[in-house]
Amino acid sequence: MWEILDDLNVKKKFLIFSIAIALINLINVKTDHIFLLYYFALIFFVAGLAVAVIAPYIGLIFLLSHGGIGLWLMVKSVIGNIIVSPIMQDNPANANTYLNVAYSFFIAATVFMIIYNVSSKFKDKEHSIDIPLVLYFIGMLMIVIFPRIVTYLCG
């Protein structure tokens, strides 16, 4: 069960993913509490993913609870004020489509993480951990750059 801890390759990939997810929010550097909420939520998200990678079956509870709450708080901290802003009231079709694509990446990543947690055949593949981590990264990158491009999407 704990043989995944011996796999140095998975440890490296997970560490690189954690650092990359932490660094991409530097695009939205602010000194308010919302900026800090992203990093607080990041701890929950990474903890949920780590337990899902390490512990089969029981890790799903942590993935959906800690990982889900952390992901929701991270997304809310980045785009929470933009969703209710007047710019989203004018012509939000393109922006909503963009957000739906980002949310689809999160859903696909969660499904792949569940498969990774439950299936030993999928876990034994060489790059099986890459799929959910890259999908989570792309989805979070889309969310983080959303405040920068929302005026182009709605304009």
Find tokens 């393109």 and name the residue. Answer: 94
Q: Are 127 and 112 in contact (CB under 8 A)?
A: no
The total number of structural domains that make up the chain? 1
Question: Which backbone phi and psi does 126 adopt, to 5 degrees?
Answer: -65, -45
Contacts of 4 (CB under 8 A, 6+ apart): 10, 53, 54, 123
Per residue of the chain (155 residues), give pLDDT as tens: 445 555 678 888 899 999 999 999 888 776 677 778 889 999 999 999 999 988 889 999 999 999 999 999 999 988 887 887 777 777 778 888 899 999 999 999 999 999 998 988 888 888 889 999 999 999 999 998 988 888 787 76
Question: What token pair was written down for 102?
Answer: 């980002």
Show the domain range for 75. Answer: 3-154
Question: What token pair was written down for 141?
Answer: 């990158």
**Nearest residue to 84 via CA among 40, 41, 134, 76:** 76
